[in-house]
Amino acid sequence: MAAIPALLPSTAFRDELRRRGGESAARCYQCATCSSVCELAPAARPFPRKQMLLAQWGMADQLAADPAVWLCHQCNDCTVRCPRDARPGDVLGAVRSLAIEKLAFPGFLGRLVGAARLTWPLLLALPVLFWVALLGLAGRLTPPAGLEAGWAYDALVPHSFIYGVFFPVAGWVILASWVAGRRFWTALGASGPRSGSFLANLMPALVEVATHKRFGSCGAARPRKLGHLTLLWGFVGAAVTSGLLIVGMYIQHLPMPLALDHPYKILGNVSAGLLIVGAAILVGNRLGDRKAAGASSAFDTFFLSVVVLVIATGMVVELARLAHAPAFALSSYILHLGFVMSLFLTFPYSKFAHMLYRTLAMVHARMAGLEKK
């Protein structure tokens, strides 16, 4: 028999939930309309009705270990139909951000990003200042004199600097994600037995992510699927491009900068395009029907803003080079590098992390036989 020491959700938990836009959980009277209209809920372990109850009872640990929280794509069919306007979509969103913070390694970074409502200037400024400082020390805060047209950014910020900074950053991000991911995976394991191998189930899960099959069945927020999918592929494209560029530079010894019609270049620009479109759709969607879109907490907004900033500065950077404006190019390049770094560093702690947790939850769902029949 589970013993709940406190009578009620600890006030702390309630405040956390409220801060993240999940206070409406209190309005729920457990009619389960939400579960019955949810296209993603598995018959054996439906959601989000049960999660609303856990939220009311303040069972933070159960929620942090609950795959359902991540199987939810916040399409908000539930929120639209809820007879009590208890907004299950928002509540689960809030629970997710809470979980990201709870699982974060190290914890203080989780809390830092979790409090993006207050800390966002810091989170954006620090990386930028880092680059300013670094280049300052290297005496590279002004573009070298006598650049002719056709210069590449290597001339402003040598690749060594980029690799020097971003490889360690990436390493760190991978480490932090690994630790957090492990914690989550173990917690999931405690929530129910699993069978089959991780890898065997990872593949189909990834395919699902890549195709957004689940998202497709959502009703109320169809437009978001498109935006979300586009953004995803934008990121993938950007990552692939970066990889190809390294290959291009050091194996193929291609002349930099690449001509606009070079396939790598095209891929890069297409990815950028996807990112722009995706971000635009998501932003537009948030500004639209609030009920169907769900509430926007600072947590969501921060992540989306960083993405937008990265894309925006990226565009400016490219245009500045084409416009042969080295000084302007350098300053915007510094911003760009700063924002990219911010995006990387906050990955395990920002909403970005749902990429990790949702994928793991999907793998777990397959292994635990929680697949929707």
Partner 1 sequence: MSAAPQQHPLLVVGAGISGITAALEAAEAGRKVVLVEREPYVGGRITRTHHYFPKMCPPSCGLEINTRRLERNANVRVCVNAEVTAARRTDTGWSVTLRHQPAYVNQRCTACGACTPVCPAEVPDPFNLGLGKVKAIRLAHGNAWPRRFTLDRAACPAGCRACVDACTYQAIDLDAQAQEETLEVGAVVVTTGWSPYPLDKLPELLGGMDQDVIANVHMERLASPGGPTAGKILRPSDGTAPRRVAFVQCAGSRDVNHLPYCSAVCCLASLKQAVYVKEQLPDAEVTIYYIDRRAPGRNEDVLTRVAAMEGVRLVKGKVGKIARTNGVLKLKVEDVERGVLSEAEADLVVLATGMVSNLKLQAPPFGVLLDEDGFGLPGHDLGLSVAGVARRPEDVAASVRDATGAAARAIAATGRRG
Partner 2 sequence: MQRIGVFLCSGCGIGEALDVAALEKAAREEKAAHRAVHPCLCSPEGVATIRAAIDDGSVDGVLIAACSPRAKVEEFTFDPLKVAVERVPLREQAVWCQPPNHEDTQLLADDLLRMGIAKLAKMSLPVPFSAEISDTVLVVGGGVAGLEAARAAAAAGHPVVLVEASATLGGRMAGLTHLLPEGPPYDVLHPNRIAELLAKIQSDDRVTVYTSAKIQHIAGQPGQFAVTISTPQGERSFVAGAIVQATGARPYDASKLPHLGYGSSPNVITSAQLDEMLARGSLQRPGDGALPRRILFVQCAGSRDPQHLPYCSAECCGTTLRQVATIHQRHPDIETAVVYRDMRTPGQLERFYLAVQSQPNTLLTRGEVERVNGNGRGPLHVHLRESLLGNDVTLEADLVVLAVGMVPNAADGEAVRALHDAKVRAEKGDSETQRRDAAALAEQLAHHEGTEILHLEYRQGPDMPVLKYGFPDSHFICFPYETRRTGIYAAGTVRAPMDPPQAAEDGWGAAMKAIQCIEAAKRGAAVHPRAGDLGMPDFFLQRCTQCKRCTEECPFGTLNEDVKGTPQLNPLRCRRCGICMGACPERIISFPDYGVDRISAMIKAMSVPEEFEEKPRIVALMCENDALPALDQAAAQRQQWSPWIRVIPLRCLGSMNIVWIADALSRGIDGLLLVGCKSGDDYQCHYVRGSQLAQTRLGNVQETLTRLALEPARIKVVELSHHEFSRIPEIFNEFSAEIEGLGANPMKGF
**Interaction site with partner 1 (CB under 8 A):** 29-37, 41-46, 49-50, 81-85
Cα–Cα–Cα angle for 119, 9, 354, rounded to 5 degrees:
45
- Residue 29 touches partner 2, criterion: CB under 8 A: yes
Q: How far is the CB of 86 from partner 2 (least distance, A)?
A: 9
Q: Which is nearer to partner 1, 90 or 318 (CB)?
A: 90
- Residue 139 touches partner 2, criterion: CB under 8 A: no
Q: Which is nearer to partner 2, 3 or 145 (CB)?
A: 3
Instruction: From the list partner 2, partner 1, none, pick the one residue 45 interacts with, judged by a Cβ distance below 5 to 8 Å according to partner type.
Output: partner 1
Q: How far is the CB of 44 from partner 2 (least distance, A)?
A: 13
Instruction: From the list partner 2, partner 1, none, pick the one residue 41 interacts with, judged by a Cβ distance below 5 to 8 Å according to partner type.
Output: partner 1
Closest CA to 269 of 319, 340, 336, 337: 319
| Contacts of the segment 205-208: beta carbons below 8 A, 24+ positions apart | 205/359, 205/362, 205/363, 205/366, 206/359, 208/362
Which tokens sit at 332? 């915007």
Q: How far is the CB of 71 from partner 1 (least distance, A)?
A: 13
Q: Which is nearer to partner 2, 8 or 138 (CB)?
A: 8
Neighbours of 122 (CB within 10 A): 12
Please state, in angstroms and as integers, the Cα–Cα distance from residue 319 to each residue in 294, 328, 333, following that order: 36, 10, 11
Do residues 341 and 130 make contact, with C-beta atoms less than 8 angstroms apart? yes
Q: Which is nearer to partner 2, 84 or 372 (CB)?
A: 84
Q: Which is nearer to partner 2, 28 or 205 (CB)?
A: 28
Instruction: From the list partner 2, partner 1, none, pick the one residue 81 interacts with, judged by a Cβ distance below 5 to 8 Å according to partner type.
Output: partner 1
Rounded Cα distance, 353 and 183, in Å: 14
Contacting residue, 13, 14, 214, 348, with partner 2 by CB under 8 A: 14
Closest CA to 14 of 59, 68, 51, 47: 59
Rounded Cα distance, 96 and 1, in Å: 27
| Contacts of the segment 208-216: beta carbons below 8 A, 24+ positions apart | 208/362, 209/355, 209/358, 209/359, 209/362, 214/40, 214/71, 214/73, 215/73, 215/75
- Residue 57 touches partner 2, criterion: CB under 8 A: yes
User: In the stretch 83-112, what mask flags binding to partner 2 with x, by CB under 8 A?
Assistant: -x----------------------------
Instruction: From the list partner 1, partner 2, none, pick the one residue 8 interacts with, judged by a Cβ distance below 5 to 8 Å according to partner type.
Output: partner 2
Furthest-apart CA atoms within the chain: distance in Å? 77
Residues within the interface to partner 2 (CB under 8 A) = 1-9, 11, 14, 26-27, 29-30, 50, 53-54, 56-57, 84
